[in-house]
Amino acid sequence: MLSLSHLLLFFLISLYSLSAYSTTLSLSPTAAPPPLANPWQRLAHLATASSTRAHHLKTNLSATTKVPLFPRGYGGYSISLSFGTPPQTSSFVMDSGSSLLWFPCTRRYSCNSCNFADIDPTNITTFIPKSSSSAKIVGCRNPQCKWIFPNVRCRECGKNQTRCNQSCPPYMIQYGSGSTTGLLLSDSLVFPDKMVDNFVVGCSIFSNRQPGGIAGFGRGPESLPAQMKLKKFSYCLVSHRFDGEPVTSDLVLDTDGAAAARGRGIKYTPFRKNPTSVNAAFHDYYYFTLRKITVGGIKVKAPYKFLVPNSDGKGGTIVDSGTTFTYMEKEVFELVAEEFEKQIGKNYGRAAAVEKESGLRPCYNISGENAVDLPKLTFHFKGGAKMALPLADYFSFLDESVICMTIVSSSGTEDGFGPGPAIILGNYQQQNFYIEYDLENERFGFRSQVCK
């Protein structure tokens, strides 16, 4: 999720948790636990069983882990991850636009404005640190604290060391449409076939507009790919028409680059860094170089300043799984919208009422048409890789007779060219593509593929 409030329109995803996946309590590799009267004894038993299994898992690490990715009605894709001893399962929005992982945490967790369509805000699954024997609060002196607070200053320990236990300061993360705050924990991240110890995860006790967790897959040291030392990760996003249905695709996490080679036909473009020192958040984003945008083969004359980030951190293009509809800075958006209008406006009537209501545009009334013919939208990247979007990725039916372009822009000022990326490739425009973040080779790969 981008931390730029001006970017966030009501389309952009609101985050919440998938509570359908209940806590996994037993990792017991052998017999069922003996019936114990005391719940603490039972917990201790589970913990022992879990660490036995953990030892087993750690001696046989597989290079590739697959995690099911669910299309969600709020516009994102979620994964379930388990933390702790014994493991507790939480749902996270898979977000390549931020880096920290956090979950709703403790029984006191509270969330403001968290009424979303298909979730009960009074029944959010929370992680309970006290129920995990491996959960620790990250201390101020722990180098992991510096991931989030590079300039943290800790108190002197004092002669008898009593003041050494100061915790890392509370974090507060501002997303485009909300925020979360809590304390950093370290605990084990547990997969069916492997385990990562001392994984830093945010224990959020208060959030605004996101009652579920977020799994940051960005470029920061605290992100899941960084903490797991992934060489690459990839996904193929099933269509949003399956939102809320138990239709999934795999999120693939690879720790071995060679084993991760994934077939032919993948086109690559190098990642690039945002040169700015103004805002560290921009270093978390996956920038790449968009050379041009074409609509029906006609080049849209987007000024260079939008395509490449400058030293103030303005401009450039990023890919973000946590943004729903691709965002374009107003000037670029208008050029794209105008080119569509120029090419198809004579064939179909504009549906102005729907535009007003939905905030999307242009929208066309196609009632009575048997087939709709629309120009191809193609992104051309550095190195020659071309991403020709399937029609469903950039024009969507709002009802049976109206289609709207599913790209959004800032609604604000005309010259509102703020800091941060000018173009954000959202997940809607990644549907039915195999997408690869090749971290080892610093490049973004994609291939047209039906994900479901």
Ligand X SMILES: *[C@@H]1O[C@H](CO)[C@@H](O)[C@H](O)[C@H]1NC(C)=O
Is 320 part of the annotated catalytic residue set? Answer: yes
Q: Which residue number, 167 or 378, has a Cβ lying nearer to ligand X?
A: 167
Q: Which residue number, 84 or 421, has a Cβ lying nearer to ligand X?
A: 84
Is 284 part of the annotated catalytic residue set? Answer: no
Residue 7 main-chain phi, psi, to 5 deg: -80, -20
Least distance from ligand X to the Cβ atom of residue 90, Å: 11
Q: Which among 95, 243, 254, 438 is annotated as catalytic?
A: 95
Chain positions contacting ligand X, by CB under 6 A: 19-20, 22, 60, 62, 120, 123, 158, 160, 162, 165, 193, 351, 353-354, 365, 367, 401-402
In this structure, what token pair is assigned to residue 145? 């604290």
Least distance from ligand X to the Cβ atom of residue 61, Å: 9
Q: Which residue number, 62 or 131, has a Cβ lying nearer to ligand X?
A: 62
Q: Which residue number, 164 or 392, has a Cβ lying nearer to ligand X?
A: 164
Residue type, 277: S
Q: Which among 187, 320, 393, 438 is annotated as catalytic?
A: 320
CA 158 to chain centre: 42
Q: Are 238 and 249 in contact (CB under 8 A)?
A: yes
Least distance from ligand X to the Cβ atom of residue 56, Å: 7
Q: Which residue number, 117 or 388, has a Cβ lying nearer to ligand X?
A: 117
d(CA 67, CA 79): 7
Q: Which residue number, 151 or 160, has a Cβ lying nearer to ligand X?
A: 160
Q: Which residues are catalytic?
A: 95, 320
